[in-house]
Amino acid sequence: MTEPFRKWSPQQAKFSSRQESYVLGGGAGGGGKTDLLIHNPLYMLEEDRQRWLRGVIPRSQVWCLLLRRLMPSTIQLVERMRQIYHVADPTVHVDETYKIWTFPCGFKIQAGGMEHRNDWHKYYGQEYGFLGWDEATEFEEEQFNQLDSRVRSADPYWQGRERVRLCTNPVGKGLLWVRRRFVEVSPPEKPVIMRVPLDKGGFKEFDQVFIPFKVSDNPAFAGGDYEARLAHLPPHIRRAVLDGDWYVVEGAILGELWEQGSHVIPDMSPPENVYIFRSCDWGLGGASGAPSVVLWWYVDSDNCLTCFHEMTFNNNCTPERLGNAIKEIEKHYGLWDTEE
């Protein structure tokens, strides 16, 4: 097996070297995200190849899956995988029907698409030691959740060391859920421990981190024609794909005016003796899964509005469930009127 690891820029190397369970690499276009995602399973491959050569394992049990949402993009992903993996090991076997690369030690990497919202069913019977999402904001949160439940390993060596990697620009229908789950929970490059409640009680902990990219992080495009082309795009597109701004939402009323640093303050409860009210925007996306939102506001002495709590919900939420969720939030802030 030849040396597969190209020389990354310092920022790209931060993504490649991370050991957290979940890593999002995102931001500007042209940051080299797809190549980073394709290369990432090779680090696991090298570990299993060495174990195989030493006779520690008869054959690798790791199966990796790299995904794109739309078919034209999947075709491009497959072609790039073909180039990179053939350099990594010219003896790798390729199943052209199912787009599976099998290395001599048994390690497998598969390319897949998920054009339709229920296409996750195609992969549901498998277990994956590595799951990669290329342009993650193209996917629905339900698709991510369903396949995330397939991330596991029968090999004790990899149990607890499985990897989920996401790369994306901050555009697309899935921007809000990706931003909420991977960008807003912690400052860039600062790992955070997330706790997930288990059905039988207790919690499962996992770590994650967000690594931002810009065009300047990719030597192939930095300072060149591509960067100049991005600079001439309309403001809302330029801020997303050149600056890597996660708070530019296409079609949003304040999309071109929003600045995270100016319009967001640290989490805080509302002050005493202020007027508080609740608003709700029920999304009209129907089956498309467009989110709805409930916001809680207070009005300060300068008549400025501050939103101190946000709750999003999808189109499957019933009025009863929504009402109960509102009640719990308002009880937390001491706002719920308990008198009958």
Q: Binning pLDDT at 50, 70 and 90, where does residue 120 land?
A: very high
Q: What is the pLDDT of residue 142?
A: 93
* Confidence check: pLDDT of 143 > 80: yes
Q: Could you tell me how far CA 311 lies from the centroid of its own chain?
A: 20
Q: What is the pLDDT of residue 266?
A: 74
For the chain, what is the HEC assignment? CCCCCCCCCHHHHHHHCCCCCEEEEEECCCCCHHHHHHHCHHHHHHHHHHHHHCCCCCCCCCEEEEEECCHHHHHHHHHHHHHHHHHHCCCCEEECCCCEEECCCCCEEEEEECCCCCHHHHHCCCCECEEEEECHHHCCHHHHHHHHCCECCCCCCCCCCCEEEEEECCCCCCHHHHHHHHHCCCCCCCCEEEEEECCCCCEEEEEEEEEEECHHHCCCCCCCHHHHHHHCCCHHHHHHHCCCCCCCCCCCCCCCCCCHHHHCCCCCCCCCCCEEEEEEECCCCHHHCCCEEEEEEEECCCCCEEEEEEEEECCCCCHHHHHHHHHHHHHHCCCCCCCC
Q: What is the pLDDT of residue 41?
A: 96
Partners of residue 130 on adjacent β-strands: 64, 163
State the Cα angle at 204 between 153 and 182, rounded to 5°. 90
More confident call, 308 vs 263: 308
* Confidence check: pLDDT of 265 > 80: no
Q: Assign residue 252 a region: left if phi > 0, alpha if psi is -120 to 50, beta otherwise? A: beta
* Confidence check: pLDDT of 277 > 50: yes
Q: What are the backbone angles phi and psi of residue 248, rounded to the nearest 5°?
A: -105, 110
Q: What is the pLDDT of residue 223?
A: 57
Q: Which range, of 21-30, 68-77, 126-135, 198-207, averages the lowest pLDDT?
A: 198-207
Q: Which range, of 15-24, 42-51, 266-275, averages the lowest pLDDT?
A: 266-275
More confident call, 191 vs 6: 191
Q: What is the pLDDT of residue 287?
A: 44
Q: What is the pLDDT of residue 255?
A: 58
Over the stretch 78-93, which tens digit does the pLDDT of each residue have? 999 999 999 999 999 9
* Confidence check: pLDDT of 307 > 80: yes
Q: What is the arithmetic mean of pLDDT over 128-145?
A: 95
First CA to last CA distance, the chain:
73
State what percent of residues in the chain have pLDDT above 70: 79
* Confidence check: pLDDT of 65 > 60: yes
* Confidence check: pLDDT of 2 > 60: no
Q: Binning pLDDT at 50, 70 and 90, where does residue 40 land?
A: very high
| 250 within 8 A of 236, measured Cβ to Cβ | yes
Partners of residue 306 on adjacent β-strands: 298
State the Cα angle at 191 between 174 and 37, rounded to 5°. 55
* Confidence check: pLDDT of 194 > 50: yes
| 27 within 8 A of 214, measured Cβ to Cβ | yes
Distance CA 305, CA 310 (A): 14
Contacts of 70 (CB under 8 A, 6+ apart): 113, 115, 138
CA dihedral 40, 42, 45, 49 (to 10 degrees): -150
In this structure, what token pair is assigned to residue 336? Answer: 């719920």
Q: What is the arithmetic mean of pLDDT over 115-143?
A: 94
Please, what sign has the CA dihedral across residues 139, 144, 147, 148?
A: positive
Q: Binning pLDDT at 50, 70 and 90, where does residue 3 land?
A: very low
